[in-house]
Structure 1
């Protein structure tokens, strides 16, 4: 999957996965992600895996979480860019994933969640 040209900021300027604000991302994570995911060190897996230290980790590798074959075999290494792209439409990015969340349409929301997850390591 190739990175898309993002056009999310005011004035049509590109929004990159590095443009996020962690404080905003924390609020978004709590509202949209925390039902299924934890992101604290040693936190439990829920419906989704614990996301502590997700950046720099290969998809499908959290101990004790039952991943789909699609996730385990995707070969994706989570970076700011791959996570930003994934969060737009998880089922399109990894065909066969069980992630129920449809994705974030707003690029800034995705960038903010990525920034927040960067603090969880």
Structure 2
């Protein structure tokens, strides 16, 4: 530490740069911790919402909504297999009703979705 010509205290440049870098790293780590806490709070809210009602359809709908919100997706869908190569349920979240109506019938597990069901490893 030294005094400049005006009589004010000043720090040499090198230690000041190191301090600035350390402060920048500290701020970055704090932001990472805050982001992680936000994700954890989201998981806790999703867990509480899922356990609020154990009726299967309501549970699956809440699961789809929570998953969409947790990853920040616009849309999400969940297919429940029927055990015969198709879907027993197809639950979606994030699409307005008019879009759903315009799309038409929901998937039944045929076509590309059927291929994924038949050969999930590909």
TM-score (norm 1): 0.23
Higher strand share: 2
Q: Whose relative contact order is higher, 1 or 2, with alpha carbons under 8 Å and at least 6 apart?
A: 1
TM-score (norm 2): 0.23
Higher helix share: 2
